[in-house]
Structure 1
Amino acid sequence: MKILNLQNENRKFVKSVGNFHVLEYMQDASVSIANAQTEYYMSQMNIRRRQIVIDIDKDHPAIIQSGAMQWMGGNVQATSGVKGVGDFLGKAIKGAMTKETAVKPEYVGEGCLVLEPTYKYIVLADVSQWGPAGMTIEDGMFLACDGNVKNKVVTRKNLSSTMLGGEGFFNLSLYGNGVVALESNVPEEELIEVVLENDELKIDGNLAVCWSSNLEFTVERTTKTLVGSAVSGEGLVNVYRGTGRVLMCPVASTASYFEATNNMEAKAAARTSNTLGK
């Protein structure tokens, strides 16, 4: 099989890690008179469509978020990734805990798998570089991973993380060998990496994208007393302790903006339809 014109002046691979590739639309040529101006200025501000292209072979199957597949070529088959009723129930519990889909389909065989485009930024990471314990990711960020990557649900060290820290009590931890693709609200080149060596990092808010699973995560007051916190004007902070890495956003998430842009085409099409109707 030959795939022609996957890359052209408008679409280019901007990053590759292993068998995972990020295809970015430099500008969107599939526009109408209703949204051409908006799409142009979006592309100038780096708000662009991005897709994951995965090379599938017998040694590298792929697991993706449910509903993320756009098309596949070659001898590629989709499986449920469920190995019995007990496995399904376990995955359902994991999904409820981590805000991910309960069942993530696994694609096996020989060929190419292309995922649906997204306006979010895509972070590619080699899980093996995060140490034996792997990496823990923020809720809802998982997009796809190599089939050799294993996952488990990890819990916080204390209940305060759930009630006071703005974080869930459960997160998805990925470990083993292979590539993982994450959807981020911030470009990868803008993410700040903090390498801890028997040290601690305190963050005001849930700015962390992912962190080494062996780090201890707690939520604590900025000062030792409630009075001190009130006087300083600071309250609770997320604290990461130990030896490992943390990837964090430099600014607060603008997820609501991305939700709006995902609906932009539908609204533009509706306006065009109304205009033609008149």
Structure 2
Amino acid sequence: MRTTINSENKLTMLSQMSNDAKFQVLEYDKLEGALDVQTAFGINIMNNTGIKLKQVRIILEDSSVKLESGALSYMKGDINIKNKTGGVIGLGKKFINSKLTGEKMFKPTYEGTGEIFLEPSFGNFALIELEDEEIIVDDGLFYACEEEVEVGSSMQKSISSMMFGNEGLFQTKILGSGIVVLELPVPESEVFKCKLFNDTIRVDGNLVVLRTSNVKFTVEKSSSIIGSTTNGEGLLNVYSGTGEVWLLPTKSIYSDIKAMGLEQMRNPEGKSNTEV
């Protein structure tokens, strides 16, 4: 869903989700504020290649949300900011979760009526709604949520995932009912949302960024030594059970492009374009 909400600035709403609060992902059509040649050159490249600046807008109507610390850009209306520590025990849990997952310790609560705009970013945002559910996501993906949603840590449940999963001993756990904003490394349109029904999916590499908590995560070796040698796959991440898994098949492609550089992309063999 793409809806123009500000024709003067050509601001487009990419997606929207409503519950007690309303969440919108907005996109700027192009940037035009360069004051020097270097900035103008960079903006021109971004505009021509389709790299768009995005921003999350949250509309509160006597409701409340939690934000990742430092995510706020500006807000208007009758909105109060609170840091709820939950006493000594709650503060201890926040400290432990922060150390285990790498997430920031405090997630301020904003409550009242008005509008909140989060920091603009060239990243990608996804809106999801939980209904008394629990999901496990990669560290750093959480961006904002409704207040009733809890953010904590989840320990890997198998020895193989602890030792060989390359996901860390702990991951971020998000549970409850309400809307959640995640910041993804690729556009949501490139996310393969795989639904499992007593089934198994095997993945070469760390392409999975989200799974529902009832999906089991383990690591196993390829079926044979010969197979591992010929296809280059020694260990596979295995997800099994009933639930949903989010894979990012294009994630590694972006990393390869960034690592290769523009010149190598133009000439993968290191030869001149003019060579016959």
Aligned mates of 1:143, 1:255 — CA distance in 2:
22
Hey, which of these two has a bigger chunk of strand by percent? 2
Q: In structure 2, do the counterparts of structure 1 residues 213 and 227 end up closer, same or farther at CA, with 3 Å as the change threshold? A: same
- Tell whether 2:78 aligns with 1:79: no
- Pairing of 1:20-169 with structure 2 (within 5 A): 20-32=23-35, 33-58=37-62, 60-128=63-131, 132-169=132-169
Secondary structure of residue in 1 paired with 2:171 = strand
How do residues 224-235 of structure 1 correspond to structure 2 at under 5 angstroms? 229-230=228-229, 232-235=231-234
Gapped regions of structure 1 (runs ≥ 5):
259-278
Letter in 1 for 2:198: N
CA distance in 2, matches of 1:187, 1:37: 24
CA gap of 1:46–1:125, structure 2 versus 1, over 3 A, is farther
Residue aligning to 1:179: 179
The alpha-carbon distance between structure 1 residues 257 and 85, as it changes in their structure 2 partners (threshold 3 A), is farther
| CA distance in structure 1 between the aligned counterparts of 2:135 and 2:202, rounded to whole angstroms | 18
Q: Cα 1:68–1:255, aligned 2, differ >3 Å: closer, same or farther?
A: farther
CA distance in 2, matches of 1:7, 1:49: 16
Q: Conserved in 2, the CA contact under 8 Å of 1:133 and 1:175?
A: yes
Q: CA deviation at 1:37?
A: 2.8
The CA deviation string for residues 138-157 of structure 1, in whole angstroms up to 9 with x for no partner, is 11111111112123321112
Alpha-carbon distance in structure 1 between the residues aligned to 2:200 and 2:156: 16
Deviations 1:68-98 (A, max 9, x none): 1111111101111212122111111111111
CA contact (8 A) 1:193 1:245 kept: yes
In structure 2, what residue type is equivalent to 1:181? Answer: V
| AA of the residue aligned to 1:250 | P
Distance 1:108 1:90, change over 3 A: same
Letter in 1 for 2:68: Q
Q: Secondary structure at the match of 2:44?
A: helix
Segment drifting more, 190-199 vs 142-151? 142-151
Moved over 4 A (4+): 225-228, 253-258
Aligned equivalents of 1:181, 1:256: Cα separation in 2:
27
Q: Distance in 2 between matches of 1:127 and 1:88?
A: 25
Is 1:127–1:174's contact at 8 Å kept on the other side of the alignment?
no
Report the RMSD for the aligned CA atoms in angstroms.
2.2
Report the CA distance between 1:179 and its aligned residue.
1.0
| 1:41-90, Cα deviation, whole Å (9 max, x unpaired) | 223433221111101233x3111110111111111011112121221111
CA distance in 1, matches of 2:31, 2:193: 31
Residue in 2 that maps onto 1:273: none
Q: Identity of paired residues, percent?
A: 33
Deviations 1:192-218 (A, max 9, x none): 111100001111111112111111111
Distance 2:97 2:240 in 1: 25
Q: Give me the whole-angstrom Cα distance separating, in 2, the residues matched to 1:243 and 1:236.
A: 22
Question: What SS does structure 1 have at the residue aligned with 2:167?
Answer: coil
Query: How far apart, CA to CA, are the structure 2 residues paired with 1:256 and 1:117?
Result: 26
Structure having greater relative contact order (Cα 8 Å, sep ≥ 6):
1
CA contact (8 A) 1:91 1:102 kept: yes
Q: TM-score, length-normalised on structure 2? A: 0.83
Separation in 1 of the partners of 2:122 and 2:98?
24
What per-residue deviation string (whole Å, max 9, x for no partner) do you get for residues 165-223 of structure 1? 22112112222221111111110011111110000111111111211111111111122
Give the whole-Å Cα distance in 1 for the aligned partners of 2:133 and 2:114.
31
Aligned residue pairs: how many?
249
User: CA 1:76/1:255 → structure 2, altered by over 3 Å: closer, same or farther?
Assistant: farther
For residues 227 and 12 of structure 2, the distance between their equivalents in structure 1, rounded to whole angstroms, comes to 53
C-alpha distance in 2 between matches for 1:31 and 1:7: 21
TM-score, structure 1 normalization: 0.82
